[in-house]
Amino acid sequence: MAAWIVGHATHPDWRAALALAATQVDARAAAGAPPPTLGFVYLTDAYAAHAAALLSGLQQRWPGVAWVGTVGVGVAASGVEYFDEPGLVLLLADLPVGHFEVFSGARPLSRIEPFSALVHADPATADIDDLVVDMSQRTTSGYLFGGLASSRSSSFHIADGVWHGGLSGVAFGAEVSLVSRVTQGCQPIGAQRRVTAAERNIVLELDGKPALPCLLAELKIDSLDNPRQALPRLKATLVGLSAPADSLLGRGGQFGTDTVVRHLIGLDPGRQAVAVADEVEPGMGLAFCTRNAEAARRDLVRICAEIRDEVESAEPPRRIAGAIYVSCNGRGGAHFGGPSAELQIVQHALGDVPLAGFFAAGEIARHHLYGYTGVLTAFTEAL
């Protein structure tokens, strides 16, 4: 069985954090176990200026290991998160070298037939949505997981080098078994509607009616003439969208995995329209929504249970070897009730699984770019 080992630390000096995390990895390594071949590294933006030196330190300490990762305003490990503070998480695995391949703009895939892929990307890339779709189409399963770097300084991603712009990551062959789920963090506040008229990012009509009155009615806003009443409710409102062929809602009236949440960015009283931060077309499903901590907690527990049940019911029997969790930078412990609460929910549901991840400026699953979600991916292996 492959060994997955996690180490994590916080320290003002990145060198000390690396030494502390590496010591944990070394202490957990089984005697006589094969050396690791693939490493995941996530660092908070407190270390952003030292990314190249940190990667060099990893390569010197573990020669022959391929490294992928990125920067976040927060990073995640098993049961703990480092948010708005210096933090570093390492996850190492001894996957067979022929079962994965690291890629970037400077090194396209060439050695394996990609079945799935972990992707990290620069949020400043103008055509990021198209790049995600294109990368998804290059995999046999069509399944990507990962997210956009988040940083208050330099945004970058790591793939045996430090890269700016575009995307990079690691592709996995069909031999690498994984189970992945998306958890939504928003609650619909009104009816499921259908876009019947739109121009680019302007929603003109919903179910054949002007869009703006539909929004105001659901928010119980009598008039825009009273900004003190209207603005707080409008600022807290988001928009859930699904493609014409996809279902907007899933179990229990929550958003389904094909629904993406976008910001409400403007109102057009003259045309009785609303503007959203994405292109909209007639036939799409739409529901106005707000962030909801309790709904997010329930949905996170649900996806953990689904992953665990799928793994435990597999034939022949399998187990979770390691996991990657990418959550929105608007989530985290503060949204779930306390420091590290989100990661503690995952740990309680999955057990003490070696896990690494980060808090992203956008989450990637399949060919979608999400917001306000979490993407949990468990790597499995036969018992």
CATH of the domain at 23: 3.30.1330.20
124 and 51 both lie in a single domain: yes
Measured torsion, CA atoms of residues 27, 381, 308, 92, in degrees rounded to the nearest 10 = 30
- In total, how many domains does the chain have? 2
Closest CA to 327 of 199, 197, 185, 191: 185
Domain that holds residue 208: 186-290
Whether 177 contacts 381, CB under 8 Å: yes
Could you give the residue ranges of the DSSP H alpha helices within the chain? 14-28, 51-61, 128-137, 211-218, 227-235, 293-312, 333-336, 341-350
306 and 283 both lie in a single domain: no
DSSP state of 249: B
Closest CA to 343 of 377, 292, 380, 300: 300
Q: Which two tokens stand for residue 206?
A: 């919903």
pLDDT of residue 34: 85
pLDDT of residue 227: 79
256 and 368 both lie in a single domain: no
196 and 174 both lie in a single domain: no
271 and 197 both lie in a single domain: yes
9 and 109 both lie in a single domain: yes
The domain boundary, picked from 238, 258, 290, lies at 290
11 and 53 both lie in a single domain: yes
pLDDT of residue 91: 98
pLDDT of residue 160: 98
221 and 272 both lie in a single domain: yes
Reduced to 3 states, what is the DSSP secondary structure of residue 7? Answer: strand
Closest CA to 325 of 1, 8, 3: 8
pLDDT of residue 252: 65
User: What global pTM score does this model have?
Assistant: 0.93
pLDDT of residue 205: 97
CA distance 246 to 257: 9
pLDDT of residue 2: 60
Phi-psi region of 337 (alpha: psi -120 to 50; beta: other; left: phi over 0): left
pLDDT of residue 3: 87
| Cα radius of gyration rounded to whole Å, the chain | 21
174 and 301 both lie in a single domain: yes
What would the 3-class secondary structure string for 323-375 be?
Answer: EEEEEECCCCHHHHCCCCHHHHHHHHHHCCCCEEEEEECCEEECCEEECCEEE
The domain boundary, picked from 290, 306, 330, lies at 290
Span 92-142, pLDDT tens digits:
999 999 999 999 999 999 999 999 999 999 999 989 999 999 999 999 999
DSSP state of 251: G
218 and 128 both lie in a single domain: no
Q: What helix, strand, coil percent values describe the chain, rounded to 5?
A: 25, 40, 35
Whether 306 contacts 350, CB under 8 Å: no
The domain boundary, picked from 273, 290, 307, lies at 290
Name the β-bridge partners of 276.
Answer: 264
314 and 274 both lie in a single domain: no
pLDDT of residue 113: 96
For the chain, list residues with pLDDT below 50: none
233 and 331 both lie in a single domain: no
